[in-house]
Every structure is written in structure tokens, then in C-alpha cells.
Amino acid sequence: MVSTYQIKPALILQPFISCYSLRIFNTGEKVMPQPLHAIYEYFLTFFLKYKFCKVKDNSGKVETRSSSLVTFFTESQGCVYYQGCYVLFCVQFKSNGLFAIFGIPQKMLINSIMPIEDILGNDYRSLNEQLGSSKDIFEMSKYMNIYLTQNLLCQKHKQHTTIISICSGMILRKRGIISLDSLAHYANMSTRNFERRFIEEVGMPPKLYSRIVRFYNAIENKMLHPGKSWTDITYENGYYDQAHFIREVKSFSSKTPEELFNITPPPTEKFTEIASS
């Protein structure tokens, strides 16, 4: 059982960060796999206990990883394996959140897992110590709010940064089933200009981002309702037919839907949303 506690960031950060998460679990002698398929958020994860996990890429190469930034994935990056007792604190960035807060061009980072020091530099050590010594998620979020707000206020944002954030939020709420024209209309831009701005901020075209969101929602739907048939999952998530759905799953995970769940079954996870103090 994975116990996950989630709390919203400070109000000023909410356009760019979904939440902070504290995940606590102990696999014992067993190994818990987690497939690295396509995802639509960035995850900045601090390993506060049992400092390592194993990552096997699609070529079979195995590396040891610790606190890391996991970026957008547009295709399978292999699988991560956990064994032992873990306490993980994670910042879940929205579509252009890393760019907005740190000013890093996101197109350079797609499909990568990076040491957290490469993003935070010398700030990592002190921040990691603060998180590790915190008594609960409230105190952790306090330290993180201060640090990320300082970085956010140092950036010189372009006028469309917030608009792109809002439009990506619309894609999430519609579970990826929304037209490019309607997004451009809301942003008060031509379709071509909106697409260019979206790529500049997010690092990928809005259509690809929407496809990944739809894929992720379909997989999450199956995880939450394992008794549902793949046919139901297909049509509930707006795919033309099962062949279309299977092609998308293969494109974003390198496996068929059945393979994805048979080889790496999702862990049982209990989510608790906590109101900010």
C-alpha cells in the first residue's frame, strides 16, 4: 500500500504547480515496478528515506537514481523499480510550470530524468535538509512555497505565459478531448501563433500534449476501475475504436494495454488531499 498525501501550493504558484505530494511506502522484500510511459507533468522528487531506486531503460541498461526531475515523456523510457522503505516529497509542475518558475526552456528537457542538483544547483542541499527535518507535509510545503515563490518572482514572464497555463488546464479538464481551434480562440490568437507559443512554453505541440493527457486519463481510469473492459475505456476516453486506442497505448508506452498492466501492475495507492493551513 502506497499512502499519498497531497496539498496545494501557495496561491501565487497554483497556475504552475498542481500540488505537493508526500508518498510513503515499504515494499519489504518485494520489488515494486512503475512503468515510465508518457506523462504530461514534471515531477521534482526528493528522496527523504532510502535514497535510491533502479531504472531500467528500453535497451535493458540499469541505472541507480535518487532525487530527480522527471520531465515530460512522449514515449516509453523503461521502468523504475522500488525496493525498501521510501519517503518521497514531490513537486508536480503543470504544463509550463518549470519554465515559468525556473526559466528553463522545456523543449531541451523532454524525455529525460535529471539529477535534482542540475535544476536547483547549490540550493538543493539546504532545501533537502529542510524537507528531511520537517515534521509533516505542512512544514515541507512551507519551505517549498518560500523557495519556489522567490524563483517565480525573479522571472520576467511573457504576456502569454499565464494564458498558456490556463489553456493547458482546459486540456486537462477536457481529458485531452478539445480542439486546437477552440484553444486558440480562447487565447485570442491565430491557430498558428497559439501553437508556436505553446511549443515555446511547454516544449511540445498542443495536439501531442492533448494526446498524452487523453492516454494518461485512459490508463488512470483502468487503474481506478480494474474491472472495466478495455472497450469501455476506449469509448469513455474518446477514441474512435479499440484499434485506435491500442495504437496510442503502444506509441506512448511501447506495450499493448494488456501488456502494460500484466507486466507492471499498478500499486494500491491511498490518496489523501489536505487543505492548506
Per-residue pLDDT averaged across 196-203, rounded?
Answer: 95
Provide the pLDDT for residue 277: 58
Provide the pLDDT for residue 40: 95
Decide if 274 contacts 6 (C-beta within 8 A): yes
Residue 267 has pLDDT above 80, yes or no: no
Which pLDDT band, with edges at 50, 70 and 90, does 158 fall under? confident
Which pLDDT band, with edges at 50, 70 and 90, does 265 fall under? low
Region class of 121: left (phi > 0), else alpha (psi between -120 and 50), else beta: left
Residue 133 has pLDDT above 70, yes or no: yes
Q: Give the integer Cα–Cα distance in Å for 85 and 29.
A: 10
Range scoring the smallest mean pLDDT among 67-71, 120-124, 228-232, 271-275? 271-275
Which pLDDT band, with edges at 50, 70 and 90, does 47 fall under? very high
Decide if 101 contacts 10 (C-beta within 8 A): no
Q: Give the integer Cα–Cα distance in Å for 6 and 13.
A: 15
Read off the C-alpha cell for 236: 469513455
Span 212-244, pLDDT tens digits: 999 999 998 888 888 889 999 999 999 989 999
Among 206, 186, 188, 209, residue whose Cα is nearest residue 196: 206
Provide the pLDDT for residue 266: 60
Q: Give the integer Cα–Cα distance in Å for 164 and 96.
A: 8
Q: Residue 55 phi/psi, 5° resolution?
A: -125, 125
Residue 268 has pLDDT above 80, yes or no: no
Alpha helices in the chain (DSSP H): 97-102, 117-120, 123-133, 137-154, 161-173, 180-187, 191-202, 206-224, 230-236, 242-253, 257-263
Q: What angle do CA 37, 8, 14 make, to 5 degrees?
A: 85
Decide if 96 contacts 61 (C-beta within 8 A): no
Which pLDDT band, with edges at 50, 70 and 90, does 97 fall under? very high
Helix (H) or strand (E) holding 46: strand 42-49
pTM (2 d.p.): 0.92
Span 14-27, pLDDT tens digits: 999 999 999 999 99
Mean pLDDT of the chain: 93
Which pLDDT band, with edges at 50, 70 and 90, does 191 fall under? very high
